[in-house]
Amino acid sequence: MLEVADLSVAYGPIVALRQASLVLEEGEIVTVIGANGAGKSTLLRTICGILRPRSGSIRLEGQEIGGRPSSDLVRRGIALVPEGRHVFAEMTVRENLDLGAYYRRDGAAVARDLEHVLETFPILREKIRLSGGGLSGGQQQMLAIGRALMSRPRLLMLDEPSLGLAPAIVQQLGRIIRDLNAAGTTVLLVEQNARMALRLAHRGYVLATGRVTRTGTGAALLADPAVQESYLGGLAA
Ligand code: ATP
């Protein structure tokens, strides 16, 4: 579905991605793990058109999409749940969700998708008239995911969704990601919480200072001593 090949991205003189390559097959959950500053967010921001590649290619179903505007990529079915959620604090939960459907003109299907999002996240139904800023961190994460789902993505990209959330909420989030995937959404998950991410993912990539240094199934990476040492606190999974 998505093929990233030899992708390099820089912020002026700072090179954040160095010839990174990865592949996502339709129906997979793929994770990219790595330390702070490894280039994970840069990868997602480039795939969804916020940043331009310096070199390399990004192909969606065989078509080059590198450097295309975000609006175009949303229409093609790519949605990003950004790090830090970026919920609009002054807007209501409903208004935040409606924004996710901004580019859609299929009103009846949008209404069905809204109902589906509210079934997936009952707490959002309860709080639908409240402002986004009044939600807890976990609820804001649900809202950010719900907003992304309102664009009806085929590829959902999540940037550090577990950041700052209590362990029970992280578990709930894991179940939600698994359910969305089972319902047909391909998922690209970026996480510093490597254990959670590798348990959830079919396959993973390790990113270190902008380079892909390892790849394998989630189970294989969890069992890899070098991954355990660097990303799992040295403990056997
Ligand atoms: P984090 O988990 O902290 O978000 P990350 O793996 O997502 O880390 P990136 O945010 O992609 O890493 O950052 C990769 C590199 O690019 C880092 O060296 C970072 O300092 C640099 N960088 C990121 N954003 C910018 C920016 N707007 N301007 C300049 N340098 C940046």
CA atoms within a 13 Å half-sphere pointing along the CA-CB vector of 125: 9
Q: According to the model, what pLDDT value does residue 58 have? A: 97
Taken in order of first residue, the domains within the chain and their CATH numbers are 1-77+185-237 (3.40.50.300)
CB atoms closer than 10 angstroms to residue 208:
16
In the predicted structure, residue 112 carries a pLDDT above the cut 80: yes
Asked if residue 24 has pLDDT above 80, the reply is: yes
- How far is the centre of ligand 1, averaged over its atoms, from the C-alpha of 57 (Å)? 20
Mean per-residue pLDDT of the chain: 93
Mutate to test the pocket of ligand 1, among 14, 33, 212 (most ligand atoms within 8 A of CB): 14
Residues 51-70: tens digit of each pLDDT: 999 999 999 999 999 999 99
Give the per-residue pLDDT at 234.
64
Of 143, 146, 200, 135, give the one whose Cα is nearest residue 171. 200
Strands 14-24 and 2-11: antiparallel
User: Is the pTM higher than 0.85?
Assistant: yes
Nearest alpha carbon, ligand 1 atom 27 = 11
- At residue 237, does pLDDT exceed 70? no
Between strands 63-64 and 14-24, the pairing is unpaired
Mean pLDDT value of segment 147-167: 92
71 Cβ contact partners less than 8 Å away, ≥ 6 residues apart: 49, 103
Angle of CA points 43, 100, 90, to nearest 5°: 105
* Lining residues, ligand 1, CB within 6 Å: 11, 14, 16, 34, 36-42, 83, 192
